[in-house]
Amino acid sequence: MLEDDDAIFIRQLVDYSEILLPVEACNRYELFNDDETKKFYAYELEGASPASWLTRAFLGSLRPFTLRVLDQDNNTLLEVVSPFRFYFHRIGVTSPDTGFLGTVERRFDLLNKLFFVFDANNKLLCKLKGPLWKPWTFDIVQNDKTFGSIKKSWSGSLKEVFTDADCFGVEFPQGANETEKRLLLAAVFLIDFVYFEENPGKNYLPNIRI
């Protein structure tokens, strides 16, 4: 489903309940390919019990979450599951057609915001490095060379004044296969939760196109 795509753009949908209530709403996103055709949408699953609301209220971006990415026919492309972690955040990524794809894990680094991407056999595929002097850019690094990037861009409206709705672009490394692209796409959602979930009105940038 991603084999012909060189880049995917992700736009978080605004939930105006966040203006009125100091509680994180379940995240929802629209995904477009590089010719701006809507391809997928993603949503965070909301639990039916009151505990789900309390988790979002008290844990915010630290909350555990399950997120699904669906195509235009409501077929699931990915399921992304993140358990509760105070710092070393981690997601497991699965797909209905191929099963378990791998993991994305946050690692400690003094000079970078750092994530490792592993395949289903726990083989390191690449690192995602966000230098402190480039707070909205995460380079996709293999063997110390940059082959792609994940970037956050300002939405171009006032919605971030009141909510934490974000826009991202992921430029896939040349030659990346379907599994690698799916894992990098899943990594965008983890990055959003970790770094941009609770920063309303603080993320102003000119529009960035990859």
Predicted local distance difference test score (pLDDT) of residue 145: 94
Predicted local distance difference test score (pLDDT) of residue 203: 35
Amino acid letter, residue 107: R
Closest CA to 12 of 162, 165, 154: 165
Whole-number mean pLDDT of the chain?
A: 81
**Quick check: 66 pLDDT over 90?**
yes
Predicted local distance difference test score (pLDDT) of residue 125: 97
- Residues 45-65 pLDDT 10s: 875 444 554 555 555 556 789
Where are the domains positioned within the chain? 7-196
- Residues 196-208 pLDDT 10s: 876 443 333 333 3
| High-pLDDT (> 90) share of the chain, % | 55
Predicted local distance difference test score (pLDDT) of residue 84: 85
Question: For residues 118 and 96, what is the distance between their CA atoms, to the nearest angstrom?
Answer: 19
Predicted local distance difference test score (pLDDT) of residue 13: 86
Burial status of residue 179 (CB atoms within 10 A of its CB: 0-12, 13-18, 19 or more): middle
Predicted local distance difference test score (pLDDT) of residue 1: 83
Predicted local distance difference test score (pLDDT) of residue 192: 92
Scan for tokens 């995904």, then name that residue: 31
- Residues 175-191 pLDDT 10s: 999 999 999 999 999 99
Q: CA 108, 137, 171, 141: dihedral to nearest 10 degrees?
A: -40
- Residues 142-169 pLDDT 10s: 999 999 999 987 554 444 444 445 789 9
**Token pair of 54 as six digits:** 């309390």
Tell me, what DSSP letter sits at residue 62?
A: G
CATH architecture of 7-196: Beta Barrel (2.40)
Predicted local distance difference test score (pLDDT) of residue 48: 43
The stretch 73-91 carries a mean pLDDT of: 92
Burial status of residue 17 (CB atoms within 10 A of its CB: 0-12, 13-18, 19 or more): exposed
Which residue pairs, CB below 8 angstroms and at least 24 apart, start in 46-53?
Answer: 53/23
Closest CA to 70 of 15, 120, 30: 30
Question: For residues 78 and 123, what is the distance between their CA atoms, to the nearest angstrom?
Answer: 20
Predicted local distance difference test score (pLDDT) of residue 132: 87
Scan for tokens 């996709």, then name that residue: 140
7-11, 105-109, 160-164, 190-194: which has the minimum mean pLDDT? 160-164
Which residue pairs, CB below 8 angstroms and at least 24 apart, start in 40-45?
Answer: 40/1, 40/69, 40/70, 40/71, 40/72, 40/77, 41/69, 41/70, 42/10, 42/67, 42/68, 42/69, 42/70, 42/189, 43/67, 43/68, 43/70
